[in-house]
Amino acid sequence: MKLLMIAPPGAGKGTQAVVIAKHFGIPHVATGDLLRDHVARDTELGRSVKQYLDRGELVPDEVVLEMVKGALEAAQGGGVLLDGVPRTMDQARALYEIALELDMTADVALHLQVTDDELVRRLLARAEDQARSDDSEDVIRRRLELYYEVTHPILEWYGERGILVTVDAMRPADQVGRQILTALEVMKQMTDGNPDLPRRAVDLTGLGAAFGAATSP
């Protein structure tokens, strides 16, 4: 299974990515983690991107695309989970071109949906226990702003391609994880061996409410 994840900062993308990658036995490629690792090791690349990360700004496309290309080449022929890329429409288009060449285009673009108030609450809590350089309140606001400005619009594109799956990520992480895995398993069974089936975007955010759970605003 080849997946990518689109979610605002604080939606639980990293947590769910680990669960999904483990479940399907596929490599988890997290651009934020790879970049932070370069910064921590003080590599040349790390020094060139540190300021962007500290300010919550996006690093230049070439840097990220080069990293992702290498990861897709390494995973070629199997599944992969991309976490943190694409972040802009330009990245989405470039990634699609790279993936087409490697026959690694995504089967699913997984979108985690969470309200802004909840995102800020979670990010401030994370700031207390992880001391990430980009978890101060003004940087958090900037990262959210950027998300809506340049990342969120990509969802429409994946919707049109019929690979978008949206889940409600307001609930506790283990419940969100179970819903994601259940949905992905069903899709995998339907698409395995039948990759050319016509596809449509799937919105699972109403599932909880349909079964009596409290709805997220």
The footprint of ligand AMP (CB under 6 A) covers: 9, 31-32, 35, 52-53, 56-59, 64, 84-85, 87, 91, 134, 143
In the complex, minimum distance from the CB of residue 210 to ligand AMP, in angstroms, rounded to a whole number: 31
Query: DSSP readout, the chain?
Result: -EEEEE--TTSSHHHHHHHHHHHHT--EEEHHHHHHHHHHTT-HHHHHHHHHHHHTPPPPHHHHHHHHHHHHHHHTTS-EEEES---SHHHHHHHHHHHHHHT---SEEEEEE--HHHHHHHHHHHHHHH--TT-SHHHHHHHHHHIIIIITTHHHHHHHHT-EEEEE--S-HHHHHHHHHHHHHHHHHHHTT-TTS----EE-TTHHHHTTPPPP-
Select 50 or 171, whichever has its Cβ closest to ligand AMP: 50
Residue with tokens 């009596």: 212
Say how many CA atoms lie within 13 Å of 184 toward its Cβ: 26
Select 104 or 187, whichever has its Cβ closest to ligand AMP: 104
Nearest residue to the partner ligand AMP, using Cβ? 32
In the complex, minimum distance from the CB of residue 100 to ligand AMP, in angstroms, rounded to a whole number: 19
Select 58 or 163, whichever has its Cβ closest to ligand AMP: 58
Select 6 or 187, whichever has its Cβ closest to ligand AMP: 6
In the complex, minimum distance from the CB of residue 171 to ligand AMP, in angstroms, rounded to a whole number: 21
Select 38 or 171, whichever has its Cβ closest to ligand AMP: 38
In the complex, minimum distance from the CB of residue 169 to ligand AMP, in angstroms, rounded to a whole number: 15
In the complex, minimum distance from the CB of residue 39 to ligand AMP, in angstroms, rounded to a whole number: 9
In the complex, minimum distance from the CB of residue 124 to ligand AMP, in angstroms, rounded to a whole number: 15
Select 112 or 187, whichever has its Cβ closest to ligand AMP: 112
